[in-house]
Amino acid sequence: MSLPSGMKEQKTGQDGMPALRTLYFYLTEGCNLACRHCWMGPRFDATGDHYPTLPVELFETAIREAKPLGLSCVKLTGGEPLLHPHFPRLLEIVRREELRLTIETNGLLCTPEIAAEIAKSPDRFVSVSIDGTDAATHEWVRGVAGSFEAARQAVRTLVAAGTRPQVIFTVMRGNAGQVDGIVRMAEELGARSVKFNMVQPTARGEKLHENQETLNIVELFKLGRYVEAELAPQAKLKVLIDFPRALRTLQSIGRGDGCGACGIFGVLGVIAGGHYALCGIGEQVPDLVFGEVGKDSLEKIWRENAILKALREGLPERLEGICGRCLMKWGCLGQCVAQNYYRKGSLMAPNWVCEQAEEAGLFPASRLGAKPTQSPLATTDNSVAEQ
């Protein structure tokens, strides 16, 4: 099996198999918010007792089987992970197994007691989603009255307990004018960083794209340049944007800012129904569900599953479209394989942002080894990118 150069340090064992570094646990099928942009599309559940949650014994089983494969980190997400009825017990298991901890939450249930339990994990990272600088904007996005102040209070509570969280802000047409304001708010609340996400055209996000409630590619391109070149350098905390690597400035790439890379070679999802999946996309795409926790051997899935083998053998050389021609593909790997598959039914499909950037004449030609595109916006912004 031929592995990209970026994977060499991730191998484990003598057969060159990449390490399963992280399990993404999608703990709940329900959520106590009704976010209009959610790529998972969980069902509304104010109390957490209407829809399945991952049994504790399956949580332990997945970790036990993953550790010999190289597991060092778990991510707890959902739905809303804090809805899980035994969330403190899950944290205890993570500590016992000496794993790094990542939590993605909307903050509504982040009590001082929960924050104190989280703080007991020495190597932890928590993100809280806040999608507006005022209640009207945030709650228009999130669908539940009172959720704005609850999210702000969650950040304060975590900080008081010794955990400075990241604030995640998903940019859409209805809140794009608050990009600067959310950074200032995060600074005042004591957060460690702000991350700007784009609305993915998956599940509920598809309708936002269809209704033109998301930013178009020109607007996204301008936003990415503004965040990287102006907003981030001036902020008192770290500011990141989840933007494809090929469209980012060389300065931000050099600083290690942002995301823009798919971690597909070292992660696997565990969804609330008790199945392994490529990631949470398994809730939407049955093709990407690989087996049942406790019944199917995780080692066998990790080593022999046809989809995982196809990804290891095909990425990035067999990426299609603009991604196949991009010089950045070795570090990006298509940015998000699950999203690409959802859109086009191909594991090697191109990233939607880069595809739209190419169509609009905004994809930096230097990243393809060709002459720059003769678009006024592309010419101006490419000069910034290459400084």
pLDDT of residue 280: 85
Three-class HEC string of 193-225: EEEEEECCCCCHHHHHHHCCCCCCHHHHHHHHH
Whether 262 contacts 281, CB under 8 Å: no
Residue 354 belongs to a domain: no
Structure tokens at 290: 């690989």
Residue 373 has pLDDT above 70, yes or no: no
Mean pLDDT of 26-30: 93
Model confidence, pTM: 0.90
In a domain, 319, yes or no: no
pLDDT at 60 over 50: yes
Per DSSP, the three-state class of 168 is strand
Residue 167 in domain: yes
Give the whole-number percent of the chain exceeding pLDDT 70: 89
Q: What is the dihedral of CA 311, 313, 315, 317, to 10 degrees?
A: -150
The structure tokens listed for 149 are 């102040």
193, 170, 311, 174: which is closest to 258 by C-alpha? Answer: 193
Contacts of 114 (CB under 8 A, 6+ apart): 82, 87, 88
Question: Residue 165's domain is classified under what CATH number?
Answer: 3.20.20.70
Predicted confidence (pLDDT) at residue 1 exceeds the cutoff of 80: no
Distances from the Cα of 113 to the Cα of 91, 160, 161, angstroms? 12, 11, 9
Say how many CA atoms lie within 13 Å of 319 toward its Cβ: 28
Residue 368, in any domain of the structure: no
* pLDDT above 80 for 376: no
Q: Is residue 320 part of a domain?
A: no
DSSP string, 67-103: GGGT--EEEEESS-GGGSTTHHHHHHHHHHTT-EEEE
Mean pLDDT of the 287-315 span = 96
CA torsion sign for 10, 14, 16, 19 is negative
Residue 187 resides in a domain:
yes
Q: Which domain holds residue 40?
A: 17-265
Q: Indicate the average pLDDT of the chain.
A: 89
Q: What is the pLDDT of residue 372?
A: 37
Q: Express each pLDDT in 189-219 by its tens digit.
A: 999 999 999 999 988 899 999 999 999 999 9
pLDDT tens for 257-269 read 655 567 889 999 9
Locate 146 and state its tokens. 């009172």
Q: What is the model's pLDDT at position 258?
A: 59
Residue 362 lies in a domain: no
Residue 100 pLDDT grade (very low, low, confident, very high; cuts 50, 70, 90): very high
Q: Per the structure block, which two tokens stand in for 139?
A: 């709650």
- The distance from CA 95 to its chain's CA centroid, rounded to whole angstroms, is 23
Chain position carrying tokens 């001082």: 112
- The count of structural domains within the chain is 1
Is 144 domain-assigned?
A: yes
